[in-house]
Amino acid sequence: MEKKHKRIQVQIFSKGTDKPKYYSIPVRIVWWWLVGLTITILGFVFWLPDNMINLKNFRMFDLAKEQRAMQLTANRLEKQISEANLQIESGRNLRNKINQLAGISTTAKSYDSIAPKDSADFERIKGSLKTLRNMRTSLLEDEQFTRSLPLLRPLKNHNNITNKYGFIQDPLTSRKLPHRGLDFAVKEGDTVIATGDGVVENIVNRKFGFGITLEIQHTPLIKTVYSHLQNVLVQPGKPVTKGQAIAIAGKTGSVLWPVLHYEIHYDNNPINPEDYFITP
């Protein structure tokens, strides 16, 4: 009589309504499969050449990952240093402009003259901060003088600059002319404000050229000029305060549309007002 071998019954059910399928696998075949799989694994671990499986290869992946992380960190630090250098340069330029405008002398020497070119970034930062602190201290010691510096923009609502300091083309004559201030796009009726404390020095009403013009003396050396006004709200000889409404914007004089022309004079010489808009 033939000996019956043990078998494993496998049933596979479909997702639909089909009848399930039945498979019968001898237990000895399953056993030999397991033995073969075990021998294969052991041979792969212990008997294959080292260059086919080597724990060092797995370590190389870790090292590559660490190297990538270090590279990203280095790139981030380099970017931060670059941004810090730009901020230092911006602060140095602002310091020089304010010193020029206000006539402030600081006790600290220019750091550029004492710092070697290859000095560390933190030394440059420290030197710049020291100079800026001295400048700030000088300003805080005389609050009245600080408020007189024309650091505001001359308009409350519109700050769109249409013509910058330098040279522009005259729309009436098409000639290239020197432009000693800034032109702001405005609407008739916009409020013009004093950019710093001062005294109204002069009000001029010209039919052509700059039209109705207001001049404010802020310090013995600093004066601001506002032109093409529709109306003036202050009187000559009267004091004005920083941010005070002083005029109404318009289009008087030789212009084709509403505009505010604004100038800053230092020691009777025009300078670029855009360099001193450091107060919101």
How many H helices and E strands in the chain? 5, 14
What pLDDT score does 106 carry? 47
Identify whether residues 226 and 173 lie together within a single domain: yes
Identify whether residues 115 and 173 lie together within a single domain: no
Max mean pLDDT among 74-88, 170-184, 263-277 falls in 263-277
Which tokens hold the place of 216? 């404010």
Q: What is the mean pLDDT of the chain?
A: 77
Which tokens hold the place of 243? 């941010």
**Residue range 104-131, pLDDT digits in tens:** 554 444 444 444 444 556 676 667 666 6
39 or 52, higher pLDDT: 39
Residue 52 lies in a domain: no
Residue 117 lies in a domain: yes
- Give me the domain span that covers residue 21: 7-46
Domains in the chain: how many in total? 3
pLDDT at 132 over 70: no
2 or 130, higher pLDDT: 130
CATH code of 261's domain: 2.70.70.10
57 or 264, higher pLDDT: 264
